[in-house]
Structure 1
Amino acid sequence: MASLYSCFVVGSLAVLLQFLFVSASTKSINAICQSRGIKKKLRMLDRHWAALSLSVSYAGKSASFAANAANQNPNMKKQFAACKDAYATIIASIKSAAAELKESPDTANYDVMVCRDSTTIVKNLIKKNLDKDSKMLIKMTLMMERLLTIAVGATVAVGG
């Protein structure tokens, strides 16, 4: 998506330049879109969006796991349901960060960083439980924190 948008912007600029400077050619437009700087920026944005997408995907799997655990453990239904809700908050925040990444990397960074509050909620809800599902959700939450660290790094890299 970013590469199409960037190429569109660059292409539009090149077309405008063609009207202004009749000597501009298709080769010039292609050269602009293929320039190293543009390609590097597009690859960088793609990688950072990939990091955010991976985080959303993993949070979705964790939310599903928590929802299933809530159904299978009636004694801990409220705790696991709250964990599922915390993961839903993580998903919403990371999706928001992905949407803001190009225009407002600082806001995107904030959106990812507040996800740590949700992982803390999950850990506090189930940290003392010794059942299999709680242990697995703790492991998933620790992995989510690692992915969030990568996502924060992505927003910082884009923001400069």
Structure 2
Amino acid sequence: MASSSHCFFVFSMALLLQFLVAPAASALPLNSTQYIDKLCQMSSIDDKPFCWQTLTGFRWAKYAGSSVTLAEVVISGLLVSHVQKTMRFALLTAQKEPSLKAQFGTFHDTYRTMGYSLGKAFQELRVSPRTANHDVMTCTDQITQVMNLIGKNQDVSSKTLIDMTMQMKKLLPLGVTATQAIGG
């Protein structure tokens, strides 16, 4: 289980590195936000202030030179990053707390499935935006699965995982809408 998480992490970081280098060579103004504006104004974004604050607060999103690049940044920089953080938390909790081992192992696996879907979406953005959109949207099912499995657990770790899952639930529409903006 840990080795697949490590492989996914390495793969994700390799993808993210291309965005870390790209802005330096970009001729865009430092605070270009035209693609952020367009995305956050789309009708499928319910929480427009959250969209704006999140994307303008993520410096790589400001460098997006196209809607495709913004979608790549949203998926790899925001969604995949949050999935990785949540996977690490679930894995560490499963290792530290024997009474939660099975349940948090399941949560880790569910988030790994989300990471896989997002990795596929990232790869498909330029060739098949609709398929990418579908792959991002499937993460909604995994979020629901985690929330249903965690139930009304009151322990600190479960509450933390609920908070992390709720944050993913807020971030996911940004990825869905970003793929829709490029024809998904």
Same fold (TM over 0.5): yes
- Superposed CA offset, 1:26-48 (max 9, x none): xxxxxxxx9xxxxx894222111
Is the partner of 1:103 in helix, strand or coil?
coil
Question: 1:123 corresponds to which residue?
Answer: 147
**Aligned mates of 1:85, 1:116 — CA distance in 2:** 15
**Aligned mates of 1:106, 1:46 — CA distance in 2:** 16
- Residue identity over aligned pairs, in percent, reads 42
Answer 1 or 2: which has greater helix percent.
Answer: 1
- Superposed CA offset, 1:92-121 (max 9, x none): 100100110111111001000111111111
Question: 2:100 corresponds to which residue?
Answer: 76
Residue 155 of structure 1: CA displacement?
0.6
Question: 1:51 corresponds to which residue?
Answer: 74
Moved over 3 A (4+): none
Question: 2:111 corresponds to which residue?
Answer: 87
Mapping of residues 7-156 of structure 1, within 5 Å: 42-53=65-76, 54-156=78-180
Question: 2:7 corresponds to which residue?
Answer: none
Instruction: Indicate conservation of the 8 Å contact 1:66/1:83, yes or no.
Output: yes
- Aligned pair 1:157/2:177, yes or no? no
Provide the alpha-carbon RMSD of the alignment: 2.1
Amino acid paired to 1:66 = A
Amino acid paired to 1:151 = G
Instruction: Indicate conservation of the 8 Å contact 1:97/1:108, yes or no.
Output: yes
**Aligned mates of 1:47, 1:85 — CA distance in 2:** 28
Instruction: Indicate conservation of the 8 Å contact 1:127/1:134, yes or no.
Output: no
Unaligned runs of 5+ in 2: 1-17, 20-27, 29-34, 36-63
**Aligned mates of 1:152, 1:117 — CA distance in 2:** 13
Is the partner of 2:69 in helix, strand or coil?
helix
Name the TM-score, length of structure 2 as normaliser: 0.63
Unaligned runs of 5+ in 1: 3-33, 35-39
Amino acid paired to 1:89 = T
Is the partner of 2:66 in helix, strand or coil?
helix
Residue 129 of structure 1: CA displacement?
0.7
Is the partner of 1:159 in helix, strand or coil?
coil
Name the TM-score, length of structure 1 as normaliser: 0.72
Instruction: Indicate conservation of the 8 Å contact 1:109/1:155, yes or no.
Output: yes
Amino acid paired to 1:67 = L
